[in-house]
């Protein structure tokens, strides 16, 4: 009798959990080149990758505009949630609103939290991504009606992956104006303020399940290692310390907003430590090369400098942690996606 009575609340609890954790019907993405699947193809910028050898391991060997030999982490995340194995770019005319109802990315390679970062390469600023999202909402309503649209938007998983360019393309760039205005700690606080406003605005527009991404160990990118001659091309420790500090502040923001905004489910997805593990012990993860990318020399090239005419490009990108001097290979993206699904996004599965 006692056992039966005590088990009843458990079943009730499971029913409540099942009701609360409704299936995720769509993946909606904001950010930079880590999650841009081709939006930059449609704007006048040099920050593009819609040419070979980019995409050579993507379905059909197509260079879609992903800065990778294959799929991005968000493509794998979409698949893990039982959705399509790829997330299309909002500006890609090959897709329509019914395609985007299952998943869409507004991301732009080269952008950052800071408007000054997007100015460097003339790409889509972060605030404009939110404007595209508002337009997307209107298109959903016109196509599906109010109720279906509200259902999609409130249950969708929103993924934000951005921030590296604010430091590498902006703050630490030659003649950086931001460096004369801010200490690196103050700049991080400035960026966190932008992140906070973005999440608050996104929530006010109907988002409930949001993943805020941390930044990688940017000092270990081949481009940064190639310039670290004084320390034998090791990772740039200064940049990695900044990445950890910034990630810590983002983690604090997640805790703060979860406490302040009722109904918000905000998680922090941190790629830093899994990437450091992979870079430090590449053979444990099936890799052979960690200090340079597959494309060309692998030390300086990305975008137009990484083209199919370069005879130095490797044959098997799966052996390389990095695809070009800045971006991970598909195999690395898959491992990072698995890590964030298992450590933070599982709450939404």
In the chain, the N- to C-terminal Cα span, in Å, equals 35
Residue whose C-alpha is closest to residue 73's, from 335, 292, 302, 327: 335
3-state secondary structure of 161: strand
Q: Which of 34, 108, 269, 327 is catalytic?
A: 327
Residue whose C-alpha is closest to residue 122's, from 47, 214, 70: 47
Q: Which of 32, 33, 92, 166 is catalytic?
A: 33
**What's the Cα-to-Cα distance from 315 to each of 53, 56, 94, 311, 318, rounded to whole Å?**
11, 11, 30, 10, 9
In angstroms and rounded to an integer, the radius of gyration of the C-alpha atoms of the chain is 20
Catalytic site includes residue 143: no
- Report the alpha-carbon distance of residue 144 to residue 140 in Å, rounded: 6
Strands 157-161 and 209-213: parallel
Q: Under 8 Å CB-to-CB from 109, ≥6 apart: which residues?
A: 32, 33, 36, 39, 40, 47, 48, 49, 65, 67, 121, 123
Q: Which helix (H) or strand (E) holds 5?
A: helix 2-20
C-alpha dihedral over 167, 170, 176, 181, to 10 degrees?
-70
Kindly report the number of other CB atoms within 10 A of residue 42's CB atom: 17
- Report the alpha-carbon distance of residue 208 to residue 159 in Å, rounded: 11
Catalytic site includes residue 75: no
Q: Which of 324, 329, 331, 339 is catalytic?
A: 324
- Report the alpha-carbon distance of residue 92 to residue 342 in Å, rounded: 31
Catalytic site includes residue 339: no
- Report the alpha-carbon distance of residue 218 to residue 150 in Å, rounded: 38
Q: Which residues are catalytic?
A: 33, 324, 327
């Amino acid at each position: 009798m006692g056992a039966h009575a005590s088990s009843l609340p458990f079943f009730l609890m499971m029913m409540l959990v099942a009701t609360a954790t409704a299936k995720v019907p769509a993946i909606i993405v904001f950010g930079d080149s880590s999650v841009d699947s081709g939006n930059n193809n449609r704007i006048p910028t040099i920050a593009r990758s819609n040419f070979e050898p980019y995409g050579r391991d993507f379905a059909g060997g197509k260079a879609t505009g992903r800065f990778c030999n294959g799929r991005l982490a968000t493509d794998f995340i979409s698949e893990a949630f039982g959705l399509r194995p790829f997330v299309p770019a909002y500006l890609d005319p090959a897709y329509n609103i019914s395609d985007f109802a299952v998943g869409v990315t507004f991301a732009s390679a080269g952008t950052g939290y800071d408007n000054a970062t997007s100015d460097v390469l003339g790409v889509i600023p972060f605030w404009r991504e939110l404007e595209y999202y508002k337009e997307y909402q209107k298109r959903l309503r016109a196509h599906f009606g109010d109720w279906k649209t509200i259902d999609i938007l409130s249950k969708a998983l929103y993924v934000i992956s951005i921030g590296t360019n604010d430091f590498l393309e902006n703050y630490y760039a030659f003649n950086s104006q931001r460096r004369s205005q801010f200490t690196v700690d103050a700049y991080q606080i400035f960026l966190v303020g932008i992140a906070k406003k973005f999440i608050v605005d996104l929530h006010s527009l109907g988002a409930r399940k949001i993943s805020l991404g941390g930044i990688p160990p940017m000092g270990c990118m081949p481009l940064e290692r190639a310039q670290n001659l004084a320390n034998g091309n090791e990772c740039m420790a200064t940049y990695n310390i900044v990445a950890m500090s910034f990630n810590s502040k983002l983690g604090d923001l997640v805790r703060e907003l979860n406490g302040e905004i009722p109904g918000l489910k905000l998680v922090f997805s941190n790629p830093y430590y899994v990437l450091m593990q992979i870079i430090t012990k590449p053979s444990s993860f099936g890799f052979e090369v960690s200090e340079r990318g597959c494309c060309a020399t692998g030390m300086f090239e990305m975008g137009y400098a990484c083209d199919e005419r370069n005879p130095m490009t490797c044959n098997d990108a799966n052996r390389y942690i990095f695809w070009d001097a800045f971006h991970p290979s598909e195999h690395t993206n898959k491992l990072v996606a698995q890590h964030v699904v298992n450590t933070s996004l599982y709450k939404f599965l």
